[in-house]
Structure 1
Amino acid sequence: MASNRGEFSSSLGFIMAAAGSAIGLGNIWGFPTQTAQNGGAAFVLMYLILAFLVGYPLLMAEFVIGRHTRSNPVGAYQKMKGGKNFVPAGFIGILTSSLILSFYSIIAGTMMAHFVEPIFRLLGANAIADWCISNDPIRNITFTTIFFLLTISIITGGVKSGIEKWSSRLMPALLVMLIMLTIYVLTLNGAGEGVKIYLLPDFKKAFTGELLLGALGQSFFSLSLGVGTMLVYGSYISNKENLPRLGILVTLADVGIAFLAGLMIIPAIYVAANAGTQIFDEGGNLISGPNLVFQVLPEVFKIMGGLGIPAAIIFFLLMSVAALTSSISMLEVPVAYMVDAGKASRKTATWVIGGIFWIVGLIIAFGGDAILNMVVSLTTQYSQPLLGLVICVFIGWVAHRNTIIEEIKKGSPDIENTFFMKTWPFFVKFISPLLILIVFLKQFF
């Protein structure tokens, strides 16, 4: 059955694809933005703790369900004993993933526009370059559409020839570009102040409701949890693979890239401030949101003189690549549902679903910042963690323990007496859902 659906050809190919899904604008744009909004190092600390205490156990739960059922989020609950009542959560996951893709493509399109802008400058086409970084609605439509077409073209290729092939090419390129830029930024005047803000936590800020909800939402968003992305990728994993090892490698890659991105962008903000750029808003808070990347970083590139244009090209290419490795995983969730249900061929499913959520993306783009912020908050801060809670309840309390153990033993026969099997079931049953609930309750009360 797995061969009809497609399968990753190697563990490296899977890690590149899963890490590619996890490592996207959530890490390189969202994580530094959230860090700037929430007081620097305190947020970094809580994000790291929650990524391992909540993120990793949940990631493993999705891998187990996916590989065991060889299905999408809806089909998986339909196939597993006790899962019938959880089918609505599967549909909500597919919808959430698709909505994230819609708003994500707007931001990703803006990244692509900023990537081509310095190229047009080099060619002397200044009018086109100015248009690329304007807030013109036609510009938004154009680049959102280009990004959607790239995403669709990769997904039509399937698992091995599409997702795995492109993730294996794009991920190493992304890592090399990120390391080069981070090293360079850290040599500039003013970077030291940013490093202090980023690495020395103010523990008084660490336990505020807003910071904890942001850190939890960020760990879900950056690891692509709750919406079925990792469940679907898990359904393409060979039975020979060791799931706990794959899970820890994907989590480490995701957290590592997020940390590295913050180490580049937070110091870069202070480099810009050192050169006279306004980095605080009227309330005295650090500029955050999309403005963080689109206002502050171009100023940093100007400081670089002759190196500024190539650095800008590399940085926004990096952002576009990161966005693409994530968007393909988001589109794969509803496509997998249509293909598994026998409703359409992969090619038809990809174009139909891609077209529908391209239109949704354009509606969000025309709605302005208020609609965009509402959709971002609804999907990443509320829907994703709540769907994660549902998965914890299902794996921890409803699914048969023997079924889960047998699935994990396929790629690691000696797993039963290991530290992982002594702790993971307890975490997914008690600790992870409890932490999700505490963070939610802290936010509301």
Structure 2
Amino acid sequence: MSAPRGQFSTNIGFLMAAAGSAVGLGNIWGFPTKAAGNGGAAFVVVYLFLAFALAYPALMAELTIGRYARRNMVQALRIISNGPVSRFFGGLTGFVGILVASLVLSFYAIVAGWMVAHLAEPFAALFGAQGAAQWLTDNSTERNLLFTAIFSGLTMLIIASGVEKGIERWSTLLMPSLIILLLSLIGYVLTQPGALSGLEVYLMPDFSHFTPKLLISALGQAFFSLSLGVGTMLIYGSYLSQQESLPRLGALVTLIDVGIAFTAGLLILPAMYVAQEAGSQIFSASGELIAGPDLILQVLPALFDTMGKAGIVVAITFFALMVIASLTSSISMLEVPVAFSIENLGIPRRIATPAVGLIIFGISTVIITHFDTLFGLAVSISTEYGQPLLGIALCLFAGWVWRRDQLLAELKKGHPNIEQTLFWRIWPWYVRIVCPLLIMTAFVHSVI
């Protein structure tokens, strides 16, 4: 029987939902392209180390606060605060987190809409609708509005169904599908000319590429890849059973996240060098990597075209992978403001979900109609400023504001001997001091 506010019914359901939140376009695309632009395997080694040195401790802060408070981000931070000043800043931090999550989703849905359009394009070509196929790949306002609306609708449908029947059920279906598609594509791409060159760059470390830029880039990727800072993991933690061991679950989520990110690199980097072998340009004239949507939506489709009929199947599989990765992340982002609307405003889920979803779609519409001005600004405000500052705040609340005895009591649920573990000897002071300093370092360098 579900708890009144919803609860994950199984460990697997939580792991798939939490991993799905973390595994999105940032992992499938962002991690491999950052690796390609920062020394390949050298970046991978540093990233894997920092994922556990930084991301795991910050993840544990969110999960522990969420399960203790069993509320949305605003109420959770107020509950663990001890006085009027800390409660005020807790509420403010939580509200900013909701706004940042909504802003991230507003531009994320646009990019995900591009993936849906490109997924539809091969089907249009198969049925001979060349005009429709061309329209689907042209970057027009009308196309962007339509497919952002389609993707936003899919996200709303899942969230409206609740925790067990929506988030858990769909994450449990989508994540294994994502892994199967990813492995299938890797198997195919590695048989193509040029793939081994990409694989060598990805797997053979050359530490002459180790620079402060690489370190900061890996630091940022390790933190952002787990969807930290905007309350998604805090919300998911609030739906966890109190019989579960949080340190163990947090470690599993981190392992799954970095594992899929690493596996995605086995696809993207070889695919880039296969595209280069086929005549596509993956590096600019100055030697910089052509990253982001330009590479996804121009270079790889050009590669698929060189594969003949097999290219249609590969294109469908690739963009299906991208849509699934987008969807598993978007549902966690939408749940952040929806949970606030349900618990603070008393709005039923089936009303709160479309209401909040339509507001976010309205923001997406404004961004689409003023794309050149607002898209980059929305990305910068939310990911370069909002997420790291919120991440620092959450670590400070877990490490300095929350009473130590309450924190220990919460961690003991599901892990009674936590006081005797290495985790408890390190994590409390680590999340107090080391995590905020590391995140602040990455933030300052990214802004400068």
TM bucket normalised to smaller: over 0.9
Matched, 1:55 2:64: no
Q: State the Cα distance separating 1:126 from its structure 2 match.
A: 1.2
Q: Is the alpha carbon distance of 1:415 and 1:442 closer, same or farther for their aligned partners in structure 2, counting shifts above 3 Å? A: same
Show the counterpart of 2:316.
313
In the alignment, is residue 292 of structure 1 matched against residue 295 of structure 2?
yes
Select 1:103's aligned residue among 91, 104, 107.
107
- Larger deviation, residues 190-199 vs 59-68: 190-199
For 2:390 and 2:207, the matched residues in 1 are separated by 29
Output aligned runs, 1:37-186, within 5 Å: 37-82=37-82, 83-84=86-87, 85-186=89-190
Q: Does 1:268 align with 2:271?
A: yes
Q: In the aligned structure 1, how far is the partner of 2:225 from the partner of 2:440?
A: 19
Q: Determine if the alignment matches structure 1 residue 10 to structure 2 residue 10.
A: yes
Q: Secondary structure at the match of 2:81?
A: coil
Range that drifts further, 215-224 or 265-274: 215-224
TM-score normalised to structure 2 length: 0.95
RMSD: 1.6
Kindly report structure 1 stretches of 4+ aligned residues shifted beyond 6 Å: none
Give the 5 Å matches for 1:175-324.
175-209=179-213, 211-324=214-327
Q: Relative to structure 2, which stretch is displaced further, 8-17 or 27-36?
A: 27-36
- Return the offset for 1:196: 2.2
Q: Which residue of 2 aligns with 1:404?
A: 407
Tell me if the contact between 2:16 and 2:171 (Cα under 8 Å) persists in the aligned partners: yes
SS at 1:381 equivalent = helix
1:439 corresponds in structure 2 to: 442
> Offset at 1:47?
2.3
Q: Secondary structure at the match of 1:3?
A: coil
Percent identity at matched positions?
Answer: 53
2:77/2:397 contact within 8 Å kept: no
For 1:381 and 1:216, locate their aligned partners in 2 and report how far apart those are by CA, in whole Å: 13
Secondary structure of the residue aligned to 1:5 is: coil
SS at match of 2:8: coil
Alpha-carbon distance, 1:339 to partner: 0.7
Q: Which blocks of at least 5 consecutive residues in structure 1 are unaligned? A: none
Aligned residues: 443
SS at match of 1:341: helix
Contact 1:55 1:220 survives alignment (8 Å): yes
Instruction: Output the CA distance in 1 between the equivalents of 2:215 and 2:412.
Output: 35
2:294, 2:43 → 1: CA distance?
19
Q: CA deviation at 1:41?
A: 2.8
Secondary structure of the residue that 2:321 maps to in structure 1? helix
Q: Do 1:223 and 1:251's aligned partners in 2 also have CA atoms closer than 8 Å?
A: yes
Per-residue CA distance 1:163-219 (angstroms, 9 max, x = gap): 00100001101001101111211121111111222223443443324x444333322
AA aligned opposite 1:79:
I
TM-score, with normalisation over the residues of structure 1? 0.96
- CA deviations 1:65-87 (Å, max 9, x no partner) are 00000011101012113340322
How far apart in 1 are the matches of 2:159 and 2:408?
A: 32
2:379 to 376, 379, 382: 376
Counterparts of 1:369 and 1:218 in 2: how far apart (Å)?
25
- 1:191–1:268 CA contact under 8 A, matched in 2: yes
Asked if the contact 2:81–2:90 (Cα under 8 Å) also holds between the matched residues in 1, the reply is no
| Greater alpha carbon shift after TM alignment, 227-236 vs 117-126 | 117-126
Write the mapping of 1:345-384 to structure 2, written as runs, cut at 5 A.
345-384=348-387
Structure 1 pair 44/240, CA: closer, same or farther in 2 (3 Å)? same
Q: Which amino acid in structure 2 is aligned with residue 227 of structure 1?
A: V
1:183/1:369 Cα in 2 relative to 1: closer, same or farther (>3 Å)? farther
Take 1:60 and 1:393, find their aligned partners in 2: how far apart are those partners? 13
**CA distance, structure 2, for counterparts of residue 292 and residue 40 of structure 1:** 17
Alignment CA distance shift 1:444-1:99 (3 Å)? closer
Deviates more, 1:26-35 or 1:106-115: 26-35
What are the Cα deviations for residues 233-282 of structure 1, in whole angstroms up to 9, with x where unaligned? 00000111111111011111111111111221111111011111122223
**1:105/1:148 contact within 8 Å kept:** yes
The alpha-carbon deviation at position 370 of structure 1 amounts to 4.9
Structure 2 letter corresponding to 1:69:
A
Q: Distance in 1 between matches of 2:367 and 2:212?
A: 30
Which deviates the most, 341-350 or 321-330? 341-350
CA offset at residue 317 of structure 1? Answer: 0.6
